[in-house]
């Protein structure tokens, strides 16, 4: 039964593409210190680490471009220049390491999913480059601008397709105008318009489309389900959650009552009521008597309180202010639909159903569910993991890992289960997923047992259990498939995976790249010869990734 519920507590939160995904990689040593991981299918590097340059006082961008110029044959590019790359972000972390994200360009057009993450130490040494570049662009140079569709024509194709799919006109809440990208599928590069459309009626949708810019053919499409503030005084109100537990919630109080608006965290945390309708955000929650003790209040109390706790965890433990690192507003809507057995990140906010009382009770009633969904938002604004195959499974896995760790942060430690508090209320002791033993839900616990079909976007909820098991072993230790792992605790596990996610993962990361990225993150934090690095290596070996 449970293995058929894999789509619950989920969302396609990032753009999807089947190209550029590597299936197998191998490590080689290129010099005394330079470790190169190669995608054996494409022959392209996807992770290089070591002392890759001499100390320098140059700007980090210049250091990276100089290295790419040296390695133009390895990367099959014409040097590292603004002609080939656009710098899309540059940040300095708590270790003094500069993280740069470079978008690959071809004739000035972004290559979808082809992003490099580079790291330069405080003394100007390039220490790693992760991500894979495209290298075969066929006859794209021969395409004339006059032969292409206009952006408006591409937009019309998208809207017509959505209407046909839904048998109704969607009520659009957000959309991106079509923009040209290089889209690569099955090794073939095409000029395409990329477009995203988000809507909630007649059903939730956050569709990403790729439209052939010459023919208007839909190359790929995926559903990525993913008002003025009241004035008043900041206050703390009391309430009861879904399970009847008492909580304190941050509110704004005025003569009308108390609103579920927390202005003390980032740019605000707001909780809305959909009143069982399929509309978001709905109406900002207001309680006239300043108390949130009614049964109907429980879902809102938990969504609001748990969003605050998740915000505090990422800010206090990892120094990240809200999901985007810039204090972004966290918006939640509860009582969405009737008997709705799901929760999701829409691409811009959280949405929680009430469940049908049999499979789920209100889904905001579990901290690990709230933390799971908000971690999708962290992923969306950092690694941008493509929601398909390996990268999609890693996306889901990281949400499960932080869901468990964040819940454990506020209790006696993680129980390494997901949604156990609100799943199948008539049955004790079960959960939607178990990180400790994925096989309890019919899920694989080893890479050799991974699902390789097309269902579930290539098994994003199924294969996520593989690295879930690695995280459990890393934190707790144990022997799995005859490999012994020394546990390092959930705090260090969280630190390693957070750094892996925000610093080293790129949109098309594979499981094997995930392994080398986690090793590099642990090396940054604890040193190459540390017990923590040894445990990371052992944890991934235990799930079949060496």
Residue 18 has pLDDT above 80, yes or no: no
Q: Of the candidates 396, 354, 389, which has an alpha carbon nearest to the alpha carbon of residue 372?
A: 396
What is the per-residue pLDDT for 39?
78
pLDDT per position as a tens digit, 351-362: 999 999 999 999
Closest CA to 149 of 219, 228, 212: 212
Confidence of residue 79 (pLDDT cuts 50, 70, 90): low
Say how many C-beta atoms besides its own lie within 10 A of residue 267's C-beta.
14
Indicate the range of 121-125, 135-139, 364-368, 392-396 predicted with least confidence.
Answer: 135-139
Q: What is the mean pLDDT of residues 299-320?
A: 98
What is d(CA 241, CA 303) in angstroms, rounded to the nearest whole number? 9
User: 115 or 27: which carries more pLDDT confidence?
Assistant: 115
Catalytic (active site) residue 373: yes
pLDDT bucket at 72, cuts 50 / 70 / 90: confident
- Please state the rounded mean pLDDT for residues 6-23: 30
pLDDT tens digits along 496-523: 999 999 999 999 999 999 999 999 999 9
Beta carbons within 10 angstroms of residue 482's beta carbon: 7
Distances (CA, A) of 349 to 69, 171, 402: 41, 17, 18
For residue 207, what pLDDT is reported?
Answer: 83
Percent above pLDDT 70 for the chain: 91
Q: What is the dihedral of CA 74, 79, 81, 82, to 10 degrees?
A: -70
Q: What is the mean pLDDT of the chain?
A: 88
pLDDT of residue 262: 97
Confidence of residue 224 (pLDDT cuts 50, 70, 90): low
Which element (helix H / strand E) includes 122?
none
Segment 260-291, tens digit of pLDDT: 999 999 999 999 999 998 878 889 999 999 99
Cut 0.85: pTM above it: no
User: For the chain, how many helices (H) and strands (E)?
Assistant: 11, 26
Highest mean pLDDT among 66-70, 195-199, 361-365: 361-365
Among 373, 363, 358, which residue's Cα sits nearest to residue 336? 363
Q: What per-residue confidence (pLDDT) applies to 141?
A: 61
pLDDT at 222: 72
Task: Give the torsion sign (CA, 227, 230, 236, 237).
Answer: negative
What would the mean pLDDT of 410-438 be, rounded to a whole number? 96
More confident residue, 507 or 347: 507
Q: Higher pLDDT residue, 298 or 16?
A: 298
Contact 487, 475 (CB under 8 A): yes
Contact 123, 134 (CB under 8 A): no
- Domains of the chain plus CATH, in order, are 2-8+383-542 (1.10.390.10), 25-135 (3.10.450), 142-223 (3.10.450.40)
Q: Is the pLDDT score of 21 beyond 60?
A: no
Per-residue pLDDT at 29 exceeds 70: no
> Which among 304, 335, 409, 461 is annotated as catalytic?
461
Catalytic entry in 198, 318, 372, 373: 373
Per-residue confidence (pLDDT) for residue 228, from 0 to 100: 58
d(CA 218, CA 208): 11
Closest CA to 515 of 24, 151, 175, 10: 24
Helix (H), strand (E) at residue 181: strand 171-185
What pLDDT sits at residue 192?
A: 92
Which of 31-35, 444-448, 498-502, 542-546 comes out lowest in average pLDDT?
31-35
CA dihedral 174, 179, 184, 185 (to 10 degrees): 50
Other C-beta atoms closer than 10 Å to the C-beta of 275 total: 13
Other Cβ atoms within 10 Å of 69 Cβ, number: 15
Q: Is the pLDDT of residue 369 over 60?
A: yes
Buried b / exposed e along 105-139 (16+ C-beta atoms within 10 A): bbeebbbbbbbbbbbbbeebbbbbbbbbbbbebee
Catalytic residue flag (residue 144): no
Q: What is the pLDDT of residues 176-185, one digit of tens each?
A: 889 999 998 7
Give the pLDDT confidence score for residue 6 in this predicted structure.
30
User: Angle CA(495)–CA(472)–CA(326) in degrees, nearest 5?
Assistant: 30
Contacts of 486 (CB under 8 A, 6+ apart): 477, 531, 534, 535, 538
Q: How large is the average pLDDT for residues 181-197?
A: 87
Residue 8 pLDDT > 50, yes or no? no
Please determine, for residue 387, whether its predicted confidence score (pLDDT) is greater than 70: yes
Q: Please tell me the predicted confidence (pLDDT) of residue 132.
A: 87
Percent composition of the chain: helix, strand, coil (DSSP 3-state, to 5):
30, 25, 40
**CB 352, CB 299: distance < 8 Å:** yes
Question: Which pLDDT does position 172 carry in this prediction?
Answer: 82
Share of the chain above pLDDT 90, in %: 70
Q: What is the pLDDT of residue 27?
A: 36
Provide the pLDDT confidence category of residue 10 given band limits of 50, 70 and 90: very low
pLDDT at 529: 97
């Amino acid at each position: 039964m449970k293995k058929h519920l894999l789509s619950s507590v989920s969302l396609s939160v990032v753009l999807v593409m089947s190209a550029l995904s590597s299936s197998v990689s191998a490590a080689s040593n290129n010099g005394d210190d330079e470790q190169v991981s190669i995608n054996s299918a494409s022959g392209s590097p996807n992770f290089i680490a070591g002392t890759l340059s001499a100390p320098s006082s140059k700007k980090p961008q210049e250091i990276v471009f100089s290295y790419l110029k040296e390695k133009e044959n390895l990367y099959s590019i014409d040097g590292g220049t603004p002609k080939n790359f656009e710098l899309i972000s540059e940040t300095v972390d708590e270790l003094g390491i500069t993280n740069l994200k470079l978008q690959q360009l071809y004739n000035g057009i972004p290559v979808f999913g082809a992003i490099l993450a580079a790291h330069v130490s405080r003394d100007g040494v390039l220490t790693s480059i992760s991500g894979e570049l495209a290298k075969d662009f066929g006859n794209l140079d021969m395409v004339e601008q006059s032969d292409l569709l206009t952006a408006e024509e591409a937009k019309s194709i998208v809207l017509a397709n959505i209407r046909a799919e839904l048998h109704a006109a969607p009520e659009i809440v957000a959309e991106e105008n079509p923009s040209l990208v290089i889209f690569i599928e099955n090794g073939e590069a095409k000029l395409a318009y990329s477009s995203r459309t988000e809507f909630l009626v007649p059903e939730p949708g956050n569709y990403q489309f790729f439209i052939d810019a010459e023919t208007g053919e839909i190359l790929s499409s995926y559903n990525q389900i993913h008002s003025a503030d009241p004035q008043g005084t900041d206050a703390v109100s009391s309430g009861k959650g879904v399970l009847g537990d008492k909580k304190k919630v941050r509110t704004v109080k005025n003569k009308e009552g108390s609103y579920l608006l927390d202005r003390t965290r980032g740019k605000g945390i707001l909780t809305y009521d959909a009143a069982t309708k399929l509309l978001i955000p709905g109406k900002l929650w207001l309680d006239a008597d300043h108390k949130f003790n009614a049964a109907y209040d429980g879902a809102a109390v938990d969504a609001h309180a748990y969003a605050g706790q998740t915000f505090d965890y990422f800010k206090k433990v990892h120094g990240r202010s809200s999901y985007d690192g810039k204090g972004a507003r966290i918006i939640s809507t509860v009582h969405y639909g009737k008997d709705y057995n799901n929760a999701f990140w829409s691409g811009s906010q959280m949405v929680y159903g009430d469940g049908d009382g049999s499979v789920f009770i209100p889904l905001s009633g579990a901290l690990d569910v709230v933390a799971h969904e908000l971690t999708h938002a962290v992923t969306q604004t950092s690694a941008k993991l493509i929601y398909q195959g390996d990268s999609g499974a890693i996306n889901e896995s990281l949400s499960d890992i932080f869901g468990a760790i964040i819940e454990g942060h506020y209790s006696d430690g993680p129980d390494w289960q997901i949604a156990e508090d609100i799943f199948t209320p008539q049955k004790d002791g079960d959960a939607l997923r178990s990180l400790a033993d994925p096989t309890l839900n019919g899920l694989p616990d080893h890479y050799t047992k991974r699902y390789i079909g097309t269902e579930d976007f290539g098994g994003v909820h199924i294969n996520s259990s593989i690295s879930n098991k690695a995280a459990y072993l890393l934190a707790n230790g144990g022997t799995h498939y005859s490999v012994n792992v020394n546990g390092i605790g959930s705090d260090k596990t969280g630190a390693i995976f957070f750094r892996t996610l925000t610093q080293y993962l790129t949109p098309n990361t594979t499981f094997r790249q995930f392994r080398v990225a986690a090793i590099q993150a642990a090396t940054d934090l604890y040193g190459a010869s540390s017990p923590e690095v040894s445990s990371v290596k052992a944890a991934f070996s235990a799930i079949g990734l060496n």
